[in-house]
Amino acid sequence: MGRYLLAHDLGTSGNKATLFTVDGLLVKSVTESYETYYSQGNWAEQDPQDWWNAVCVSSKRLLLDIDPAEIACVAFSGQMMGCLCVDAQGRPLRNHMLYCDLRAEMETQTLVEKVGEDELFSITGNRPSAAYTIEKLMWVKAHQPEIYVKTAKMLNAKDYMNFKLTGRMVTDYNDASGSNAFDLKSLSWSQMILDAARIDLDKLPEAVPSTEIIGSITPEAYESTGIPVGTPVAAGAGDGGCATVGAGSVAPGHTYCYLGSSSWISTTSTSVLPDPDKKIFTFAHPVPGYYQPCGTMQTAGSAYAWLRSQLASGMEFEDINSIIEESPAGSNGVIFLPYLLGERSPRWNPDTKGAFMGLGLETKQSDIFRSVLEGVSMNLDIILKVMQSGMDISKILLIGGGAQGVLWRQMLADIFGIPVTVPDYLEEATSMGAAIIGGVGCGAFGFSAADRFCRITDTTYPKPENSAVYDRIKPIFDDCYHALDTGNIFTRLSEL
């Protein structure tokens, strides 16, 4: 068996190709960018030929320094909740509609009226949304019927790349569960939802486990990529699922938090967690037999960036952190609602706004600065508590750019009330997860090998005195949001 695993992370801004050894060592990574085309206010599309070009170029660049015959497997991570219509020969019939394309609002309402929000959530683990795949395909049928009729299959981004490599059109359970039409319990397309959506079942690809070897590199793909003919290709998973595997969350209770511009908390469970308020959502896990509960907030690192650009212009982040350290846990009673771009988990309110509460003449710059990070952290804590209500979570791993900050790591440990760990690679979880899935698929190792890829380098423990302060503030933070929401303040502000 070969020494290397080739992982592709087909993201929103570009394709990141990464080479790992089967022992979990990062060898090399290259990125090729491509464009997103925005129009009509909330339309977002990409040309799938741009993906293929990026995959071909990045693959060849990676293979320059090694023997290509040593590639044991290829696996993709890909942006989720998209919609690419292809004909029977696999030719795209229109540009791909991205997850952030929200044109299908009327189709979403139709689905809610026919199925019901609670029933949809019960079947799919997700709320209805124009962000999801089935609503987008409904839009195509309603507005571009000539394309719908010619559509042989609807594929997600990584599925189309797998087709280009192997000639086979399939998806995996993880990516399928971001469609709003996939039954999490039976791991199959929901005929009831498809009937309500008036979508033909045969237009959706077969769904298989993420680790399934769906084929091998064809001679045509070899000519374009340089990857040897016959190299196995695993089904792979969506970017959220791959990040979960790459963060080492491959067994129940293993939980991580991604801290980037946005942020999410995700874990691994044996069943769909109870969530009557629908604060989080659930995907099928790339590890067979498990589920991936997840809660995503809109502005985490971007709230910190907003603080820097608007309230600390010209300051470096190190200077801001020094100022934050002058304020005690709890920011002397200042609370920040971090809803600068509406909110997903746990509020699911596109109209919600950011706000500072508790300001007084005695309030200092350091209190305001600290409250921004605390507000983000307390919102994440609400997500975590939903998960903890259904399972034991005794520690949490941090990844992403925000995990570099010692100050924020300590704050999160204090607010979560559990130890916070960080791995050696903070920005490689998604491609690493794809590599692990490929390694499992080709028989190089089992999912327990995630520990050799994701190696813990530091642990931050909560300070009891700080946790006690935060435990008093958390309900006030929550009540501040609900007071404004109940008073219809957010909606009235959004109408100004």
The two structure tokens encoding residue 346: 């746990």
State the Cα–Cα distance between residues 450 and 20, nearest whole angstrom.
12
Q: Closest Cα partner for 76 from 174, 161, 176?
A: 161
Residue 2 has a pLDDT of 87
Q: Closest Cα partner for 207 from 236, 240, 239?
A: 236
Q: Could you read off the pLDDT of 59-87 as tens digits, one per residue?
A: 999 999 899 999 999 999 999 999 999 99
Q: Could you read off the pLDDT of 7-61 as tens digits, one per residue?
A: 999 999 999 999 999 999 999 999 999 999 999 988 999 999 999 999 999 999 9
With respect to CATH, is domain 246-496 assigned 3.30.420.40?
yes
Residue 41 has a pLDDT of 87
Residue 65 has a pLDDT of 87
State the Cα–Cα distance between residues 250 and 445, nearest whole angstrom.
13
CB 270 within 8 A of CB 291: yes
Residue 316 has a pLDDT of 92
**Residue bearing tokens 């790459």:** 246
Residue 6 has a pLDDT of 98
pTM: 0.94
Structural element, H or E, at residue 164: helix 157-166
* Fold annotation for 4-235: Nucleotidyltransferase; domain 5 (3.30.420)
Low-confidence ranges of the chain (pLDDT < 70): none
Residue 168 has a pLDDT of 98
Chain region(s) in the chain for CATH 3.30.420.40? 4-235, 246-496
CB 412 within 8 A of CB 373: no
Q: Residue 361: CB partners within 8 Å, gap ≥ 6?
A: none
